Amino acid sequence: MIHQYDVIIVGAGGAGLQAAIEIPTESSCAVLTKVFPTRSHTGTAQGGVSAALGNEEEDSWEWHAFDTVKGGDYLGDQDAIETMCKDAIRAIIALEHMGMPFNRTPEGKIAQRMFGGHTANFGEKPVRRACYSADRTGHVMLQTLYEQCMKNDVTFFNEFHVMDLIIRDGVCRGLVAIEIKTGEIHIFHAKAVMFATGGYGRVFQITSNAMAGTGDGFEMAYRNGVPLEDMEFVQFHPTGLWKLGILVSEAARGEGGILRNKDGERFMERYAPSIKDLAPRDMVSRAIYTEIKEGRGIEASDGSFYVGLDLTHLGKEIIEEKLPEITGFAKTYLGVDANEEWIPVQPTTHYAMGGIPTTIDAEVIVDENNTTMPGFYAAGECACVSVHGANRLGTNSLLDILVFGRRGGKKITEFLVNAELPELPDDASEWTRNTIKRIRNNDNSVKMIDVRNEMQFTMMDTCSVFRVEESMKEGLQKIKELQEKYLLVGIDDKSKGFNTDLLEVVELGSLLNTAETIITCAINRKESRGAHWREDYAKRDDTNWLKHSLIFGTTGSTPDIRYKPVIIKQFEPKERVY
């Protein structure tokens, strides 16, 4: 079946919905999503969304911008960061006007709390900047945006799995998707496509990401010749629930929670003397692993190690009012009562700083000269603007999706004024058909789960918080072997409708190719910056590496890596200490 639309948005998380709201009703627009919209991963964000509202104490967007630049270890583009931090105030007020329920100050303004890396007066002391709704901020934000979509009568194609982009001669012409319910292939012929497809956390063994976070958008863009920017920068959130990786929000530390080692020591005092437990995530994750490596971790019954997140001094009232969800997780999954005991935590794969390169208006960039591709846009986690640089600050992802989702929607609206429907090639669905045919026809001797487990183990083992060349090279070799093996993976389920067996194999293809770009870029960057920490190059090297990497897929065996300068405005790179 062939559909024609002015705009197709892929993904119904915050970025996709925010973009959809911006498209005027005169234009035909549809949102495609592989899960029902309110199931999107935005809903799992907990602690807050930041804006320098100054509702609780003095604040300014310049301080927010500085924190974002420094938090990202000076790799973020400062024009984009400025845009985001300035627009944050409008974005939060707009959400409130849409009806988002927020916690409030005694006088009735939006309440704000502290979060890692957010400071007053350029690093002086922590500042209350995160607007929140208990520890369900992402959930109510997603609900609010979806409510607005219902109000605006936005068209949704729910449970459609996008398989391929249609790009010919440097122009995006639409995409190919499988309707999950029927197994049928649909072609969406469009003037503009926006990817808001989220992250790739499932590349790694321990992750806070939903099972839907399989890197589909990254991989589809890359497969179709679009480069990926800064893929080596993967955020490991310091406080995942031990073994499960389920997110325990930084809000726990924003409200006064303390990380402790087996001696009960508040070890962050040694790593970040000024802001301690509220240091940025990359630093806290390294500190936790260092504690464990040096024998100060807490040993679990199975011989693995964790550290403790101590909330016992906060009091029942704060815990019940402001952190009910995460303390509920600790109770449900680990049987731990956070009022009485420390929550066992370990770092968990959380967020992709890198992604599809875009301008500050979500237009996709295809080379190191900032050339844009007509008709292709990206926003949210799958995109790299780049505002998060080498390490994202907590609360800035919910902000990113609001600001750049909206800007993308507006830019598409401008683009549509003069855009024609580009010609649709005859072979638009060829890759999709061949892929499905191959998976269906393979005998089931190589199992999806074996390949996926090995990939996730390999990435965790060789390319997580601490990295070293030799081990990463072995990891890359392994990923390449798994890519070969993947071509032989088959399925049990031969039915057409709701064939989730088939779709999981398709997703594994996305994961493997995404993994390859991450580890290739990580081997290539010979310095330590933000979340990319090299034991063999343990210093930041601004002389050689203050630049974005762009990885291009080639038909040969080695991808091509090129570079793009970082945009520096008012904040010159300085040593990053807290």
Give the per-residue SS3 of 431-464: HHHHHHHHHHHCCCCECHHHHHHHHHHHHHHHCC
Span from 216-224, 390-398, 417-425, 486-494 in contact with other proteins (CB under 8 A):
486-494
Residue 477 touching other proteins (CB under 8 A): no
Residue 541 touching other proteins (CB under 8 A): no
Phi then psi for residue 429, to 5 deg, are -100, 15
Phi then psi for residue 222, to 5 deg, are -60, -45
Q: Which residues pair with 134 in a beta bridge?
A: none
For strands 305-310 and 343-352, give the pairing: antiparallel
Q: Verify whether residue 281 is a known catalytic residue.
A: yes
Residue 108 touching other proteins (CB under 8 A): yes
Integer CA distances (angstroms), 101 to 69, 111, 136, 144, 278, in order = 30, 11, 10, 9, 26
Question: Can you tell me the distance from the alpha carbon of 314 to that of 317, in angstroms, rounded to the nearest whole number?
Answer: 8
Residue 211 touching other proteins (CB under 8 A): yes
Question: Can you tell me the distance from the alpha carbon of 379 to that of 484, in angstroms, rounded to the nearest whole number?
Answer: 31
Residue 107 touching other proteins (CB under 8 A): yes
Output 371 or 500, the one with its CB closest to other proteins.
Answer: 500
Site for other proteins (CB under 8 A): which residue of 477, 500, 554, 570?
Answer: 500
Residue 457 touching other proteins (CB under 8 A): no
Instruction: Say if residues 132 and 143 touch (Cβ distance below 8 Å).
Output: no
Give the per-residue SS3 of 353-396: CCEEEECCCCEEECCCCCCEEEEEEECCCCEECCCCCCCCCCCH
Question: Can you tell me the distance from the alpha carbon of 261 to that of 280, in angstroms, rounded to the nearest whole number?
Answer: 18
x-or-dash pattern for other proteins, window 162-201, by CB under 8 A? -------------------x--------------------
Question: Cβ of residue 566: shortest distance to other proteins, in angstroms?
Answer: 34
Residue 96 touching other proteins (CB under 8 A): yes
Output 444 or 554, the one with its CB closest to other proteins.
Answer: 444
Question: Can you tell me the distance from the alpha carbon of 231 to that of 548, in angstroms, rounded to the nearest whole number?
Answer: 10
Q: Which of residues 232-271 bind other proteins (CB under 8 A)?
A: 244, 246
Site for other proteins (CB under 8 A): which residue of 39, 86, 223, 410?
Answer: 39
Span from 77-85, 348-356, 468-476, 489-497 in contact with other proteins (CB under 8 A):
489-497
Contacting residues for 119 by C-beta, under 8 A, at least 6 apart: 63, 67, 125, 126, 127, 275
x-or-dash pattern for other proteins, window 317-346, by CB under 8 A? ----x---x---x--xxxx-----------
Which positions are annotated as active-site residues? 281
Binding residues vs other proteins (CB under 8 A) = 35-36, 38-41, 43-44, 92-93, 96-99, 101-111, 133-134, 136, 139-140, 143, 147-148, 150-151, 181, 210-212, 244, 246, 321, 325, 329, 332-335, 444, 447-449, 491-493, 495-498, 500-501, 504
